Structure 1
Amino acid sequence: MTKTDTRSKAEPRRSALDREVAIRLAATEYGRFLDMLRSLSPEDWTLPTDCPAWDVRQMAAHCLGMAELAASPEEGARQNEVAHRRGGVFIDALTGLQVEERGNMTPEELIQRYAEVGPLAAQCRRETPAEVLAMTMPGVQIVNGEQEHWVLGFLVDTILTRDTWMHRVDTARATGRDLVLTPEHDGAIVADVVAEWAGRHGMPHTLVLTGPAGGRWSRGDGPELELDAVEFCRVLSGRGHGDGLLGVEVPF
């Protein structure tokens, strides 16, 4: 199947979320990830996750590092500079740095620091000026095997929340903890993913996603797909195999 992005190739990707909605989702997701960390037993922190390089503690260290990046322009600039100096795939260098620098933190220290940083990250994201959000990020992103540009607002308003949300899913799967899902929060995140997915392939379809975060979407007279809403997002993120339209990647 040919993966088709309906945007102009020259146009950088922007967040489709209303800013107030984006910040509400960010603040709620930081709180829910913190609640997940607080629910873990001592044994949970060493369990493997769907990210093969990370156990639960290392995943939490990455999420803390990303929240600290979002909470402080100075810290964000520092992390970006160090990661760029390391070379290679930038996102791998950045997340590797975040895990490495927090490698000696205990679970209790990770939880305490995340509780401090989460609200600051949401506030800093809210206060990012519109002209900064509109700036095109340096470098290119590779999605579905093709290069694309993002404005900073796509990272700030969309990707940072999707990243935390998906790692909350990862942590729940690794530890067997309950995954809190509501239509108002998780349903809004999933609906945004669905809209981007549909725009990226541009093909007729009917999509039925089950569970509290699910819903029904259709475009033209196309094949009907039905699966759990969280699993849909996992597949699009590369955590599962998807054929046909489910093989269209969406970044998290």
Structure 2
Amino acid sequence: MVNSAVDVTTIERIGHDEAMAITTVEGRRFLEQLRSLDAHDWTRPTACDRWDVRAVAAHVVGSAAGQISPREFLRQVRAGRPVVREIGARYWWDGMNEVQVRERADLTGDELIAEWVGNADRARAARTRLPRPIARLPLLNLPAPVGRQPLAYLFDIGFTRDVWAHRMDIATATGRPMDLDAGHDGRIVADIVAEWAATHREPFVLELTGPAGGTYTASSGGDVVRIDTLDFISILAGRAAGTGVLRNPLPL
């Protein structure tokens, strides 16, 4: 296992141009997933507190709307501020996300799909146009262990990770296999592993199983972990508990 492992320090992080290409693919896969759902799937509970599948989709669709327009993004932030305390959350984006869901509470699955079709490419285009000097501004103060980050952290790959993680949530909730491959999903996972390893700096050997998996090492010694790729991501994102080196989170 170790001989074929990838040293996490050699993983090239996803930059802007690659992130936009990944976003195009992820947007298409999310659309395909939504179109595959039946009437019962939309009401199934997910690992996200308070949200069923329809609410998860509403959040992703609403997030894309905010990415299209700075004015809409700021409107969602302001509308979400009083909601943070109401729902017992800690962060401004929790309120913002809840607003996205509530504002689409009356939409059907087909209407959410139609809004995604209208929003996804426009959101990616807006993120592509974000001037690099602005993207480099360290305006994001995120929870530990991520901490202070430039806007690019969110607008390059962060929003796309969110869609990918929620595609995982929907697949888990509905019992439908998640469309995974090494080239697209494996690249997202490798980037997550590289960032996660850099935040805690503990040695490990990590074998992630499944189509998007791989084997990764950090230094020598430490925990040797073999785990399904999606279970690993669920633990990092706080959807499940982890022990040993997996006790270290990485909010997605």
Does the 8 Å CA contact 1:159/1:251 hold for their aligned counterparts? no
SS in 1 for 2:183: helix
One-letter code aligned to 1:234 = S
The equivalent residue for 1:99 is 101
Deviates more, 1:25-34 or 1:79-88: 79-88
Q: Is the contact made by 1:238 and 1:249 (CA closer than 8 Å) also made in structure 2? A: yes
Whether the 8 Å contact between 1:71 and 1:124 is mirrored in structure 2 is yes
Distance 1:23 1:96 in 2: 26
Please give the residue correspondences for 1:156-171 in structure 2 after superposition, counting only pairs within 5 Å: 156-171=155-170
Q: Give the letter for the 1:196 counterpart.
A: E
Matching of residue 235 in structure 1 with residue 232 in structure 2: no
Q: Is the 8 A contact 1:83 1:93 kept in 2?
A: yes
1:41 aligned residue (38, 42, 56): 38
Asked if the contact 1:162/1:189 (under 8 Å) is kept, the reply is yes
2:208 corresponds to which residue?
209
From 138, 158, 162, the counterpart of 1:136: 138
Query: How big is the alpha-carbon RMSD for the aligned residues of Structure 1 and Structure 2?
Result: 1.6
1:219 aligns with 2:218: yes
With structure 1 as the length reference, what TM-score do the two structures score?
0.89
Cα distance in structure 2, aligned partners of 1:78 and 1:239: 29
In 2, the alpha carbon distance for the partners of 1:137 and 1:80 equals 15
1:4 aligned partner? none
Q: 1:55 & 1:168 partners in 2: Cα distance?
A: 13
| Residue 83 (structure 1) shift | 2.1
Alignment deviations for residues 108-130 of structure 1 (CA, whole Å, 9 cap, x no partner):
10001101111111111111110
Look up the equivalent residue of 2:42 and give its one-letter code: W
TM-aligned CA deviation for residue 87 of structure 1:
5.2
CA contact (8 A) 2:77 2:93 kept: no
Q: Structure 1 residues 130, 235: CA separation in 2 closer, same or farther (over 3 Å shift)?
A: same
Residue 86 of structure 1 and its aligned partner are, at CA, apart by 4.6
Aligned pairs for 1:2-41 (under 5 A) are 16-41=13-38
Alpha-carbon displacement from aligned partner over 1:168-193 (angstroms, at most 9, x marks no partner) = 01101111222100111100110011
Residue of structure 2 equivalent to 1:8: none
Q: Distance in 2 between matches of 1:33 and 1:70?
A: 17
Distance in 1 (alpha carbons) for counterparts of 2:233 and 2:55: 22
Shift of 1:99: 0.5
Residue 249 of structure 1 aligns to a residue whose secondary structure is: coil
Partner of 1:119: 121
Give the Å deviation of 1:220: 2.0
CA distance in 1, matches of 2:54, 2:33: 12
**TM-score, normalising length from structure 2?**
0.89
Task: Letter of the 1:42 partner, please give it.
Answer: A
How many residue pairs get aligned? The number is 235
Q: Which digits, 9 at most, give the CA deviation of each residue in 1:36-77, with x for residues without a partner?
A: 100000111111111130011111110101111112222112
Matched, 1:155 2:157: no
1:76 match = 73
- Displacement of 1:85: 5.3
Q: Could you tell me which residue of structure 1 aligns to residue 92 of structure 2?
A: 90
For the residues of structure 2 that align with 1:134 and 1:43, how far apart are their CA atoms?
Answer: 43
Q: Which amino acid aligns with 2:33?
A: M
2: CA distance between counterparts of 1:61 and 1:86? 17
Matches within 5 A, 1:53-68: 53-68=50-65
**Seq. identity, %:** 38
- Structure 2: gaps of 5 or more residues: 1-11, 86-90
Is 1:189 equivalent to 2:191 in the alignment?
no
Question: Matched residues in 2 for 1:34 and 1:46: separation?
Answer: 18
Q: Tell me, which stretches of 5 or more residues in structure 1 are unaligned?
A: 1-14
The secondary structure found in structure 2 opposite 1:143 is coil
Cα separation, 1, equivalents of 2:172 and 2:33: 11
